[in-house]
Each structure stands twice: as structure tokens, then as C-alpha cells.
Amino acid sequence: MAAVRVEEVLAAAEEREAEKRRSVTVEKELELEFDLGNLLALDRNPPAAAGLRGAGPRREALLRALARDNTQLLVARLWELPAERAGGAGGPLVARLPEPAFRLPREKPPPRPRPPTRWEQFARLKGIRRRKRTSLVWDEQAKEWRRRWGYRRAGGDPARAWLAEVPAGADPQEDQFARLRREKRERVARNELNRLRNLARAHRAGTTVPAAPLHPTGHQSREELGHVTRVARVSTASLGRFQPRLPKEPAEPPSRSGGRKRRFEPLLGNLAAERSRQLELLRDMGSKKPVLDITRAVNKQLRQEEAEAAAAKGKKQSQRGKRGRRQQRPGRSSKKSGARRQQQQQRPAGGGTGGGRRKKA
């Protein structure tokens, strides 16, 4: 009887051992963090440092046990993903992975969108869209489909063209073959020039660092060189005051602000100018005429609003034109803002008349 019980106990113990060997559950203090897109698992539990200190097979066994537990958890997670059979019913079981979540730095910076070329701008303006051309063309002579260009093209090999017609208004003595060759060379050169110009424009648009044009590259435009010389002149310790001018350089026009934002006249300067200024001031204060001409101000405002509306509508179409006009404007814009400011101050007084006049106009 005791023997039977012992056998039972042993059988039970063996059963438990087998269970443990087959179990897929793992006990952990802290939950692991998973990134299934990268097949990554992060275990935050501090490992048993005591056991791992001593070198030798014990450490290896501990590490292997730890690795086994962590891998079990990771595989359990991976098995939970939606899986399907790839390639029909008998194919291998394939799990769909989510996007990798762990943020890793890129290899190269993300590509910058390049500005459109001159042709692209024009095409967008005119609404020209790209026509998809067929790669094969029917060749009547050869009675088969041939490539549009390249090896064995549809029109025959252009190098073997033995006939070149003299066009209607051309000189009969001119060599047509030479003309065709020259024109092709010119076309290729023009194409290459335009490509490089587009590239330079894109490069300039990309690097809007003002230091860029200051490097002497030999390919600078006239405006860039002017800008560079101006900057170079002013970059001395005395801000360019004692820099001699080059032989043909024109004298610097006096800047509006003289390098200062606010400027005050000296106290004891021109007596006559001071007197005339004071008398003018008294005259204006005494006169009954309003300083601000309402009609002019209102008309200016109307014109400005119309211009803004037109600019917003036809911005793309007349971009170049507007740019030209805008460059002439800076002097006038300050006056306009001054008029508007005064108008706002005087609005309660002159609002009625201004409104009335506006309706008439």
C-alpha cells in the first residue's frame, strides 16, 4: 500500500515536472516593453547581480535562463499577432508586424522639396499637363512596332540619314548636314545651360543663408558681387567710414536713415531753418484748413484695397510684374500708412463728410 502511494507521488511529481517543462507562462516583477515591429523586448527588472558576478558556467546558465524567459514572453506576444497562411492553404504561417515604434535616428536628412524649374512654373501657369507617350511607334517602312528612340528606332538610324532637304528660304550653297549637326549641338548646349540654371536657382533657394554668396566661387552674378562688396566695405572696425572707394565705384548714396533709426537735429545748428520751421508750424496751427485731406486719404485707401484684392486673385499670373511694381513702392507705402494713421485719429470728426463723399464717388 505504501509502495502504491509512493508510486502515485512520484508519478504526480513527474507530471508536474513535465508541466513545468511545457509551460509557456513566465513570472516577472515588471512587465516587459515590447516593440514588435523591431522584434524588440526591453526588460526593466534588475537582474540578479549576485549570481552573475562569479565567472564561469553558473553565470552562463543564469544568463541563458533569463534569456529564455524573455524570449518566451516575446514569442508569446508575436504569436498573438494576426497571422495568415502565405501562399495558399499549405504555405507557412506568416504574422503581420506593426510599424516599428522605437525611434531611431535617420541615416540622412529627409529630402527637401525642390523648387519648380522654369518650365514647370510655365506649365503650371498654362495648365499644360504631361502627355503619356507610348514607348513603341508604328514604323511604316519596316511595317512593325519599333521604339520611339534608341536602338533600332522607328525613323531609322539618324546617323545613316543620306538625304537632307534644303529648306525653302535657305542659301543653296550652305551645307545642310553641317547645319543639322550644328543645330543639334546648339540645342544640347542650350538644354544643358538651362538645366544648370535651374539647378543654381534651386540651390540658391535651398540655402538662404546670407553667408553663402560671400564665398568667392567665380560663378557669382552682378548683384551678388555688389552685395558682397557692400558687406565687405562695412565689415571694418570703423564700419566702412574710412574705406577708400575703388576707381570706378560710384559714391554711396546717402541712406535714408543714415544708419540710425531716429535722428535728431543738433541743438545749435541752422538758425534760418529752425526759424522757418517754427513759422510754418504756427501757420498750420492757425489755419482753418484740415491737415488731412479726407478725399485724398479715402481714395488712397480705396486704391490700396483694390490693389490688394487684385493681387490676391491674380497672384500667380502676374507674379513677376507685381514684383517689379512692389520694388518701387517702399517710398510711397510709408506715406500711405501715415495718412491712414491720421485718418484713424480724425475719423470721429471727419467721418460724416468722408462717408458722404465716398457714397457719391
Partner 1 sequence: LIYCYRKPKTKRAKRFLEKREPKLKENTKNAMLIKGGNANLRVTEVLKDIYAVKKPFAVLYKKKNITRPFEDQTSLEFFSKKSDCSLFLFGSHNKKRPNNLIIGRMFDYHVLDMIELGIEKFVSLKDVKNSKCPEGTKPMLIFAGDMFDVNEEYRRLKSLLIDFFRGPSVPSIRLAGLEYVLHFTAVDGKIYMRSYKVLLKKSGCKIPRIELEEMGPSLDLVMRRTHLASDDLYKLSLKQPKALKPKKKKNISHDVFGTTYGRIHMQKQDLGKLQTRKMKGLKKRPAEKSAEDGGVSPKKSKSA
The residue (of 49 and 272) whose beta carbon lies closer to partner 1 is 49
With cell 542650350, the residue in question is 190
Reported as type and span, the H/E element at residue 34 is: strand 33-35
Task: Select from 66-74, 121-129, 135-143, 246-254 the region that touches partner 1 (CB under 8 A).
Answer: 66-74
Assess 202 for contact with partner 1 (CB under 8 A). Answer: yes
For residue 165, give the nearest of 153, 178, 177 by alpha carbon: 177
Q: How far is the CB of 92 from partner 1 (least distance, A)?
A: 5
| SS3 category, 116 | coil
The residue (of 117 and 346) whose beta carbon lies closer to partner 1 is 117
| Cα torsion angle, 50, 55, 61, 67, sign | positive
The residue (of 80 and 274) whose beta carbon lies closer to partner 1 is 80
Which of 10, 11, 12, 97 forms a contact with partner 1 (CB under 8 A)?
97
| SS3 category, 35 | strand
Torsion of CA 337, 338, 341, 342, to 10 degrees: -150
Residues 318-347 touching partner 1, rule: CB under 8 A, are none
Assess 46 for contact with partner 1 (CB under 8 A). Answer: yes
The residue (of 39 and 232) whose beta carbon lies closer to partner 1 is 39
Query: Which three three-digit cell numbers place residue 266?
Result: 543738433
Residues 1-40 touching partner 1, rule: CB under 8 A, are 21-24, 37-40
Say how far apart CA 61 and CA 55 lie, in whole Å. 11
- The number of residues that bind partner 1 (CB under 8 A) is 58
First to last CA, the chain: 123
Assess 63 for contact with partner 1 (CB under 8 A). Answer: yes
Do residues 304 and 297 lie in contact, with contact meaning Cβ atoms separated by under 8 Å? no
Which of 6, 9, 13, 94 forms a contact with partner 1 (CB under 8 A)?
94
- Per DSSP, 147 falls in state E
Which of 108, 143, 262, 320 forms a contact with partner 1 (CB under 8 A)?
108
Assess 92 for contact with partner 1 (CB under 8 A). Answer: yes
The residue (of 108 and 222) whose beta carbon lies closer to partner 1 is 108
Which of 9, 14, 102, 175 forms a contact with partner 1 (CB under 8 A)?
102
Assess 111 for contact with partner 1 (CB under 8 A). Answer: yes
Assess 203 for contact with partner 1 (CB under 8 A). Answer: yes
Say how far apart CA 243 and CA 229 lie, in whole Å. 12
The residue (of 114 and 336) whose beta carbon lies closer to partner 1 is 114
Which of 8, 10, 45, 189 forms a contact with partner 1 (CB under 8 A)?
45
Assess 53 for contact with partner 1 (CB under 8 A). Answer: yes
CA 327 to each of CA 109, 261, 339: distance values in angstroms, whole numbers, following the listed order: 36, 21, 21
| SS3 category, 136 | strand
Say how far apart CA 268 and CA 93 lie, in whole Å. 97
Query: Which three three-digit cell numbers place residue 157?
Result: 538610324
How many other C-beta atoms are found inside a 10 Å radius of the C-beta of residue 50?
8
With cell 522757418, the residue in question is 276
Q: How far is the CB of 239 from partner 1 (least distance, A)?
A: 33
Which of 64, 124, 184, 326 forms a contact with partner 1 (CB under 8 A)?
64
Residue type, 101: A
Instruction: Give the footprint of partner 1 on this chain (CB under 8 A).
Output: 21-24, 37-47, 49, 52-53, 60, 63-64, 66-68, 70-72, 74-76, 78-79, 83, 86, 92-97, 99-100, 102-111, 114, 195-196, 199, 202-203
